[in-house]
Structure 1
Amino acid sequence: MGAAISAVYASISDVDEQERQRARQDLEVLQRAVEYKLDQFDSKITEMFLNPEAMSRTQVPGLRALRKSRYTSVGVKGTKIVSSALEGILSTTSAGEHEEQRFFVYVQYNAIIRLDVMLWRWNFTGKGFSDKYENAFGYLICTSVVDVSALKTAEFVYLISEYAGDSDEEVVKYVKAMEDIYNRSRKLKQSQQRLSQLEDYQY
């Protein structure tokens, strides 16, 4: 998906001083632009975690971040960026800013997962800013778990059915298995909490 900005920094160490200074200035501007957009999206996700009740009026909110992944790159003229999953925003050649924000709610590892994805790209036109770089690109991906109790019954049934299939028997079977996992996990957590409290009391 293009050269990571940190890698591009390393690759320009052997060029002449004037070219190196110009390239570094271009890269610094690109870095700030991409990081600014990703920081904005990151703040939006944080706001969801801090105010889940407000978010729940329009979306299914996650509890808190389990994983976050951030990446920034620049596209060097003459190279191609290829990815079927992100083809829309990566293949666009029109000049200017292109941004896409999506979230997905699905079942994974017997839990309801929310995946937030933000893609940002800026395509340059002509000369003036840089004769070498043609675009800047960055993405931020955040994975969080959804509180099952916050889901409406119809929403829960839809997600479980989407995961387990259209067979009523299979859906019921999976719901029972999921219920057993949650009950066992809840008991284990309570047992660990009591043990921790006992250890704190002893010390």
Structure 2
Amino acid sequence: MAQIRELLDQSQEQQTREQLDFLLTAAKAKLDTFVTEINDIYRFPEKQEGIQVVGNRAVASYKEYRADVSQGVDSQISELIDKFFSGTEEGIKNGFVDIIKVGLQTILGNESAGEQEQHFFCIVPNGLVITRMDVKCWRYNYSSTGIIGKVKNAFCFYTSLATVNLKSLTPEEIVFFYQQLIGPDIDKIKEFIEKLKELYGFLKDKSPEEVHAMHLKQVRGLGRLNSDE
């Protein structure tokens, strides 16, 4: 599985270089389209809120394009999910990974000439917040390997992570998401939500600068504790 830019740099034939350059441009254009489509979901939530749970804005993202893809992408995206959802239970993360693997097998296992595109998203509790992760994939298969040297296909994907505004959720949805994290224990869920309300109430009147200063103070305090050890 080689990156398109690497193939372009290694190619010696002018015609192949021109074709690979065209492929590189097409993959970048598709990634730009993916970024715009996901950002539009954040930018115009009122168009989606009656249909799906929408994130506020991206807090983390990753994009990549490759050539000659057959396998291995699902494990790479799995690693991204593991990093993005560091505060999420393993069972929840594994469930989302399994969904993505099934979807990717559909697009990666399809040898038909032409393009395929897929979009996955999942809403999961991530530590103290509820988050939404989107994954958009695109693959183009060539009818033969002689079109661009030995390249059989082009593939790109974009992932984006966003927090979800609790005010946009129904009580049933809040209970549904947090019971995945805590379990079906009413008292524990109530206690957890009460603590969240207390935290949000504390942060409500704080400016971004004050919150940032509090974070720095905490980080420096942890640094001193680690140095004392």
* TM-score class normalised by the smaller sequence: 0.7 to 0.9
- From 28, 31, 37, the counterpart of 2:24: 31
Change over 3 Å in CA distance of 1:185–1:120 after alignment to 2: same
**Alignment correspondent of 2:89:** none
Q: Deviations over 1:115-157 (max 9, x none)?
A: 1110111111125522410000000111111111111111111
**Alignment correspondent of 1:116:** 134
**Alignment correspondent of 1:175:** 193
- Structure 1 residue 103, shift from structure 2 partner: 1.4
Percent identity over the alignment is 27
Q: Which stretches in structure 1 are left out of the alignment for 5+ residues?
A: 196-203
**Alignment correspondent of 1:149:** 167
CA distance in 2, matches of 1:10, 1:151: 49
**Alignment correspondent of 1:88:** 106
Q: What are the equivalent positions in structure 2 for 1:38-57 lying under 5 Å apart?
A: 38-57=31-50
Name the amino acid aligned to 1:4: Q
Q: What are the equivalent positions in structure 2 for 1:96-115 lying under 5 Å apart?
A: 96-115=114-133
Change over 3 Å in CA distance of 1:88–1:170 after alignment to 2: farther
Q: After alignment, is 180-189 or 137-146 more displaced?
A: 180-189
Structure whose residues are more often strand by fraction:
1
CA distance in 2, matches of 1:127, 1:72: 19
**How many residue pairs align between the two structures?**
184
CA distance in 2, matches of 1:127, 1:113: 41
Name the amino acid aligned to 2:71: I
CA distance in 2, matches of 1:23, 1:140: 27
Q: After alignment, is 177-186 or 48-57 more displaced?
A: 177-186
Change over 3 Å in CA distance of 1:10–1:172 after alignment to 2: same
Conserved? CA contact 2:145–2:152, under 8 Å: no
**Alignment correspondent of 1:69:** 62
CA distance in 2, matches of 1:131, 1:191: 54
Structure of larger gyration radius: 1
- Structure 1 residue 188, shift from structure 2 partner: 4.3
TM-score (norm 1): 0.79
SS at match of 2:139: strand
1:58 matched to 2:57? The reply is: no
- Structure 1 residue 56, shift from structure 2 partner: 1.1
**Alignment correspondent of 1:5:** 4
1:130 matched to 2:123? The reply is: no
Conserved? CA contact 2:182–2:188, under 8 Å: yes
Name the amino acid aligned to 2:201: N
1:160 matched to 2:159? The reply is: no
- Two-structure CA RMSD over aligned residues (Å): 2.4
Change over 3 Å in CA distance of 1:141–1:166 after alignment to 2: same
**Alignment correspondent of 1:201:** none
Q: After alignment, is 109-118 or 28-37 more displaced?
A: 28-37
CA distance in 2, matches of 1:87, 1:116: 17
CA distance in 2, matches of 1:128, 1:4: 18
